[in-house]
Amino acid sequence: MEGLGVNGFWLDRPTFVTGGTGLVGGWLVRRLVEAGAEVVCLVRDWVPQSELVRSGLLDRVRVARGDVRDQAVLERILGEYEIDTVIHLAAQTIVGIANRNPVSTFETNVGGTWALLEAARRSPPVRQIVLASSDKAYGDQERLPYDETTPLNGRHPYDVSKSCADLIATAYAVTYDLPVAITRCGNFYGGGDLNGNRIVPGTVRSVIRGERPVVRSDGTFVRDYFYVEDGAAAYMLLAERLAADPALRGEAFNFSNEEERTVLDLIGKILARMSSHLVPEVRNEASNEIRRQVLSAEKARRVLGWKPLYGLDEGLDRTIAWYRAYFGGAEAA
């Protein structure tokens, strides 16, 4: 499998992960630990339900307490742990929260990015930085699918925060020759996401409880859904390729299964796989969200030799199995 460190790249490599308690972070840390990396996780809040904590992974890594916006803390971590590779995932990731609290979103997603990159610029041992942007950085575009030449055109708070962070990473690569590369992934789903406002965990939880799944939009919004373990593997692969080829500095890569699905289509697949006849409740309350997003991953396939490990069906099966185990007590009741 790509990105699992089978070539020894990650063995004993001092690796700094921000956002380790998030959805992708827990699965990324698992893969890094399995590959033999010496992982240091930045942790701001204690989240006992996170995959990082409940799986016991936290006991297998070094934990540095702090906020991603604190440049001095970041410089200390990079220096004291002699960090070689940085994977920056920490962000405020919920569109609704960004609409309600734009300043905190900008401070974390934009300010946190420049704090990390400036700290890395002042830390000579850092050799690779993978920065997680998003397909939202492209904003709303008429030409689809997005490729990496599509302008970054965010208009609403969350989208703008990702456009800005993405551009800041490019500025550090071009101006200071910082070894940073950028990922733009579709909508992540997978076990460990306990935010019930997101469509996959919300739907699975509703089915387990015998309640109708709630759709905040009109159900016709189109997204690229990307399995979380594929995302973790893609981040690791990009770090490996960046180490081998300095010309990748400043480059961005889309990662996607290249399947466009409406919200109602995805819910239908989940209901079918859980043998449920529940009918979704469509509320049509969503605002400031992009209606249609589809990514092209041709560049990642061509330049990095990347391909997804899981299709949508297999990813959903693995995700549903995780939630059945997690919600087992409620399901039995």
Which of 105, 180, 104 is closest to 136 using CA atoms?
Answer: 105
Q: Is 158 a catalytic residue?
A: yes
CA distances from 163 to 150, 154, 228, 266 (A): 12, 6, 22, 27
CA distances from 148 to 132, 138, 151, 249 (A): 14, 9, 8, 14
pLDDT bucket at 267, cuts 50 / 70 / 90: very high
Distance CA 56, CA 42 (A): 16
Q: Which among 138, 146, 158, 323 is annotated as catalytic?
A: 158
Q: What is the pLDDT of residue 2?
A: 42
pLDDT bucket at 263, cuts 50 / 70 / 90: very high
Q: What is the pLDDT of residue 31?
A: 97
Q: Considering the entire predicted model, what is its pTM?
A: 0.92
Are 105 and 161 in contact, with CB atoms under 8 Å apart? yes
Q: Is the pLDDT of residue 308 over 90?
A: yes
At residue 7, the 3 state secondary structure works out as coil
Q: Which of 5-19, 102-116, 128-142, 222-236 has the lowest mean pLDDT?
A: 5-19
Comparison of pLDDT for 88 and 327, the residue scoring more: 88
Query: What residues contact residue 73 under an 8 Å CB cut-off, 6+ apart?
Result: 64, 66, 67
Per residue in 64-109, pLDDT (tens digit) is: 999 999 999 999 999 999 999 999 999 998 888 899 999 999 999 9
Return the residue matching tokens 């043998």: 275
Q: Which of 37-41, 127-131, 135-139, 195-199 has the lowest mean pLDDT?
A: 195-199
Q: What is the pLDDT of residue 114?
A: 98
| Token digits of residue 162 | 């990702």
